[in-house]
C-alpha cells in the first residue's frame, strides 16, 4: 500500500472526549447523515481506505499500545488485532458493491405483473460501545460494518485499555472524516451520557450485566441493539481423539488468545472420569513445551489487564471449595499482573469457578460418567457464545451440532470459527443477540427495505369492489396460488 499519499483530513484533528460534548456529537452526526454524505459509495470507500491505511501505517504504534494495555505478544497482537481489522477493511472494499446491490426476489401472482427487491439502506447514526480484551479489533470491526453500510458512527472504546483507546481516538480523529466518524473516550459517565441520546443502532461488546443497562437505555428510544456478550464456553473432550492435537488446540484457544481473556476461550472442559488424568498429562506436557517450566517468565502469555481483574481471578483460585484441586499451574505474580496457565480438576458445582465466567487463565475440568451426558449439562446452563467438541465419533458430532444451543461452535478446534468471515459471529440467549463479521456486519448495520415495483398495466377490475361471487372465487384462487381454481373461475366468469 502506498502510504506516501496518506494525509490527515482537513481541517485536522476533531476529537470529542467529554460527556458535555455528547449531545452535540449526536446532533452534528444526525445532520451530516441527513445530508446524505455517508450514503454515497465514494464516501464509504474513502473511509474504509483510510482505516486500512491507519492499520498499515501505524502498525507499530498499535502493537505498542496493545503491549502497554495487555502486554499482548507481538504475533498475537498482529494477527488478532491489526490483521483482523485490515482484512475486514479489505473484504469490505472488495465486496462493497455486491453487498450494496438490491437483491431481486420473486413476487406472487397476486401482484402480477411486478418485481420485488430487497434494498439495503443505512440505519442512520449508530453507536459502537467496545471492550478491552481486543481493544483495537472489537472497536473497529463493528465500525467497518457501520461505515460499509453507509452510517455515521460514534465509537466509545473501553477505558480499561487506555493506550489503545487514546491511539484510536487520535488516529480516527486525524485521518477519518471527522464530520461523520467520531470517537468519544471515557468510562461510565460518558457512556451513560451517550446512552441518553437517540441512536439508530447500538452495538455493544462486553459483559451481560452492562448489556442489560444498554438494552433498557435503548428501549426508551426503541433503538435496536446488538449485544456481543460472554459466558462460559464448554469444551467436550472424548477419548477416541488425537490427544496431542486436541491438547494443543485447547491450549491455543485458552492461553494462546490473550491468556484466557477472550470471550470465545474455553471456559471449562468436560470429559469422562476415566479419561481426565490422560487429558491432564497431555495438557501439562504441551503447556511446558509452549511456555516453559516457569510460565510467569514466558513472553508468549499476555498479562491480566489490571489489578481489579487480577484480584477477581485470584478470588476464584483462592475459593476454599477448590483447595487441593489445582492439578496444573497456580503460580501468580501480582506486581506484574501475571497468572500461569492453571487447571483445576473436579471443582464442586457450587464453587465460584464453576458459576462465574472465568475470562482468564484458569481452566476447570468437569468429569462425567458418559461423554453423552455433556450435552444435557451444557443445555442446563445459559447458552454459551461458543461450544467445542473433540471426538472422532460421527454420531456424537451430529448430536452435538443438532442439540447444543450456542452462538457458534467448532468440532475438533477451539475459537477458530470466528476467523471465518463467511460465518456469523454472535451470541444467543445469555451470550447475546445479533451477529457480525464479513457480510453479516454490513447486514447488521443495514435496514432491509422491501420494495415492490409495478407498472400501470394489468390493473384488473376483480381487485376492486363490488366483489361479486365470481370475483371472490377468482381472487381466493389467486391468493392461494390455486392454478386449477383460477382456470375454473375464469371459465365460469
Min separation Cβ 184 and ligand NAD, Å: 10
Min separation Cβ 133 and ligand NAD, Å: 5
What gap in Å lies between CA 315 and CA 153, rounded to an integer?
39
Give the residue, chosen from 175, 359, 390, 400, that forms a contact with ligand NAD under the rule CB under 6 A: 359
Residue 71 or 261: which CB sits closer to ligand NAD? Answer: 261
Site for ligand NAD in 367-386 (CB under 6 A): 385
Q: Give every CB contact of residue 267 below 8 A, 6+ residues apart in sequence.
A: 231, 232, 233, 234, 357, 358, 363, 384
Q: Does residue number 205 form part of the binding site for ligand NAD (CB under 6 A)? A: yes
What gap in Å lies between CA 351 and CA 298, rounded to an integer?
29
Residue 141 or 286: which CB sits closer to ligand NAD? Answer: 141
Give the residue, chosen from 84, 206, 253, 260, that forms a contact with ligand NAD under the rule CB under 6 A: 206
Min separation Cβ 185 and ligand NAD, Å: 10
Min separation Cβ 271 and ligand NAD, Å: 23
Task: Give the active site residue among 263, 286, 374, 430.
Answer: 263
Q: What are the grid coordinates assigned to 157, written together?
A: 472504546
Q: Does residue number 391 form part of the binding site for ligand NAD (CB under 6 A)? A: no
Q: Does residue number 213 form part of the binding site for ligand NAD (CB under 6 A)? A: yes
Residue 200 or 267: which CB sits closer to ligand NAD? Answer: 267
Give the residue, chosen from 28, 177, 200, 228, that forms a contact with ligand NAD under the rule CB under 6 A: 228
Estimate to the nearest angstrom the gap between the alpha carbon of 129 and the chain centroid.
Answer: 12
Q: Give every CB contact of residue 72 below 8 A, 6+ residues apart in sequence.
A: 63, 66, 81, 258, 302
Q: Does residue 164 contact residue 157 with C-beta atoms inside 8 Å?
A: yes
Q: Which residues pair with 326 in a beta bridge?
A: 344
Q: Each residue of 432-446: b (16+ CB within 10 Å) or e?
A: bbbbbbbbbbbbbbb
Burial classification of residue 273, based on how many CB atoms lie within 10 Å of its CB (0-12 exposed, 13-18 middle, 19 or more buried): exposed
Give the residue, chosen from 21, 166, 170, 207, that forms a contact with ligand NAD under the rule CB under 6 A: 207
Task: Give the active site residue among 185, 228, 286, 357.
Answer: 228
Q: Does residue number 129 form part of the binding site for ligand NAD (CB under 6 A)? A: yes
Residue 129 or 313: which CB sits closer to ligand NAD? Answer: 129
Which residue is at the shortest CB distance from ligand NAD? 230
Min separation Cβ 399 and ligand NAD, Å: 26
Q: Does residue number 144 form part of the binding site for ligand NAD (CB under 6 A)? A: no
Site for ligand NAD in 151-190 (CB under 6 A): 156, 158-160, 187-188
Inter-residue long-range contacts of 285-293, CB under 8 Å, 24+ positions, other chains counted: 285/247, 286/244, 286/247, 286/248, 286/251, 287/251, 287/255, 287/328, 287/329, 287/341, 290/251, 290/255, 290/256, 291/255, 291/340, 291/341
Q: Does residue number 471 form part of the binding site for ligand NAD (CB under 6 A)? A: no
Residue 92 or 263: which CB sits closer to ligand NAD? Answer: 263
Q: Does residue number 263 form part of the binding site for ligand NAD (CB under 6 A)? A: yes
Handedness of CA 116, 97, 90, 71 (dihedral sign): negative
257 flagged as catalytic: no
Give CA separation, 180 vs 47, 55, 143, 452, in Å: 10, 20, 12, 32
Q: Does residue number 130 form part of the binding site for ligand NAD (CB under 6 A)? A: yes
Which of 124, 126, 125, 129 shows the shortest CA–CA distance to 190? Answer: 129
Which of 79, 258, 85 shows the shortest CA–CA distance to 167? Answer: 85
Number of residues that bind ligand NAD (CB under 6 A): 28
Give the residue, chosen from 71, 88, 139, 191, that forms a contact with ligand NAD under the rule CB under 6 A: 191
286 flagged as catalytic: no
Handedness of CA 68, 69, 75, 77 (dihedral sign): negative
Min separation Cβ 217 and ligand NAD, Å: 8
Give the residue, chosen from 33, 58, 99, 132, that forms a contact with ligand NAD under the rule CB under 6 A: 132
Give the residue, chosen from 230, 253, 361, 364, that forms a contact with ligand NAD under the rule CB under 6 A: 230
Phi, psi angles (nearest 5°) of residue 327: -105, -15
Residue 159 or 413: which CB sits closer to ligand NAD? Answer: 159
Site for ligand NAD in 426-465 (CB under 6 A): 427, 432
Q: Does residue number 75 form part of the binding site for ligand NAD (CB under 6 A)? A: no
Site for ligand NAD in 290-329 (CB under 6 A): none
Neighbours of 302 (CB within 10 A): 26
Q: Does residue number 210 form part of the binding site for ligand NAD (CB under 6 A)? A: yes
Q: What are the grid coordinates assigned to 98, written together?
A: 455486491
Helix orientation angle between 188-196 and 22-34, rounded to the nearest 10 degrees: 40
- Applying CB under 6 A, the span of 111-119, 128-136, 312-320, 393-401 interacting with ligand NAD comes to 128-136
Residue 82 or 246: which CB sits closer to ligand NAD? Answer: 82
Q: Which residues bind ligand NAD (CB under 6 A)?
A: 129-133, 138, 156, 158-160, 187-188, 191-192, 205-207, 210, 213, 228-230, 263, 357, 359, 385, 427, 432
Give the residue numbers annotated as catalytic, written as ranges.
Answer: 228, 263
Amino acid at each position: 500500500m502506498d502510504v506516501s499519499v496518506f494525509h490527515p483530513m482537513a481541517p485536522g484533528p476533531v476529537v470529542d472526549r467529554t460527556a458535555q460534548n455528547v449531545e452535540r456529537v449526536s446532533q452534528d452526526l444526525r445532520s451530516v447523515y441527513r445530508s446524505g454524505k455517508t450514503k454515497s459509495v465514494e464516501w464509504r470507500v474513502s473511509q474504509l481506505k483510510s482505516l486500512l491505511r491507519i492499520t498499515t501505517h501505524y502498525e507499530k504504534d498499535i502493537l505498542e499500545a496493545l503491549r502497554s494495555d495487555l502486554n499482548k505478544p507481538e504475533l498475537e497482537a498482529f494477527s488478532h488485532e491489526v490483521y483482523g481489522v485490515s482484512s475486514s477493511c479489505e473484504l469490505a472494499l472488495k465486496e462493497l458493491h455486491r453487498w450494496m446491490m438490491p437483491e431481486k426476489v420473486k413476487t406472487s401472482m397476486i401482484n402480477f405483473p411486478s418485481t420485488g427487491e430487497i434494498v439495503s439502506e443505512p440505519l442512520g447514526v449508530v453507536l459502537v460501545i467496545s471492550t478491552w480484551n481486543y481493544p483495537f479489533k472489537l472497536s473497529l470491526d463493528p465500525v467497518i460494518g457501520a461505515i460499509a453500510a453507509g452510517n455515521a458512527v460514534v465509537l466509545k472504546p473501553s477505558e480499561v485499555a487506555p493506550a489503545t483507546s487514546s491511539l484510536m481516538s487520535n488516529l480516527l480523529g486525524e485521518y477519518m472524516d471527522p464530520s461523520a466518524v467520531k470517537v468519544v473516550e471515557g468510562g461510565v459517565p460518558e457512556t451513560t451520557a451517550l446512552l441518553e441520546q437517540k441512536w439508530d443502532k447500538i452495538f455493544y461488546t462486553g459483559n451481560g450485566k452492562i448489556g442489560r443497562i444498554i438494552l433498557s437505555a435503548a428501549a426508551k428510544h426503541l433503538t435496536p441493539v446488538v449485544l456481543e456478550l460472554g459466558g462460559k464456553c464448554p469444551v467436550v473432550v472424548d477419548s477416541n481423539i488425537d490427544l496431542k492435537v486436541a491438547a494443543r488446540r485447547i491450549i491455543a484457544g485458552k492461553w494462546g488468545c490473550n491468556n484466557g481473556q477472550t470471550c470465545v476461550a474455553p471456559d471449562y472442559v468436560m470429559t469422562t472420569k476415566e479419561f481426565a488424568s490422560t487429558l491432564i498429562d497431555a495438557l501439562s506436557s504441551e503447556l511446558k513445551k509452549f511456555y516453559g517450566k516457569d510460565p510467569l517468565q514466558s513472553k508468549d502469555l499476555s498479562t491480566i489487564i489490571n489489578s481489579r481483574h487480577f484480584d477477581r481471578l485470584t478470588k476464584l483460585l483462592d475459593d476454599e471449595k477448590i483447595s487441593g484441586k489445582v492439578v496444573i499451574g497456580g503460580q501468580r505474580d501480582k506486581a506484574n499482573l501475571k497468572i500461569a496457565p492453571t487447571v483445576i480438576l473436579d471443582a464442586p458445582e457450587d464453587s465460584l469457578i464453576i458459576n462465574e465466567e472465568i475470562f482468564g487463565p484458569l481452566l476447570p475440568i468437569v468429569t462425567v460418567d458418559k461423554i453423552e451426558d455433556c450435552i444435557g449439562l451444557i443445555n442446563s446452563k445459559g447458552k454459551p457464545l461458543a461450544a467445542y467438541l473433540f471426538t472422532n465419533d460421527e454420531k456424537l458430532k451430529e448430536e452435538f451440532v443438532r442439540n447444543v444451543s450456542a452462538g457458534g461452535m467448532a468440532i475438533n478446534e477451539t475459537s477458530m470459527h470466528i476467523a471465518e468471515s463467511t460465518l456469523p459471529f454472535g451470541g444467543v440467549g445469555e451470550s447475546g443477540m445479533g451477529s457480525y463479521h464479513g457480510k453479516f456486519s454490513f447486514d447488521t448495520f443495514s435496514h432491509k427495505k422491501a420494495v415492490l415495483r409495478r407498472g400501470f398495466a394489468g390493473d384488473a377490475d376483480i381487485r376492486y369492489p363490488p366483489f361479486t361471487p365470481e370475483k371472490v372465487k377468482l381472487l381466493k384462487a389467486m391468493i392461494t396460488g390455486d392454478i386449477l381454481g383460477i382456470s375454473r373461475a375464469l371459465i365460469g366468469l
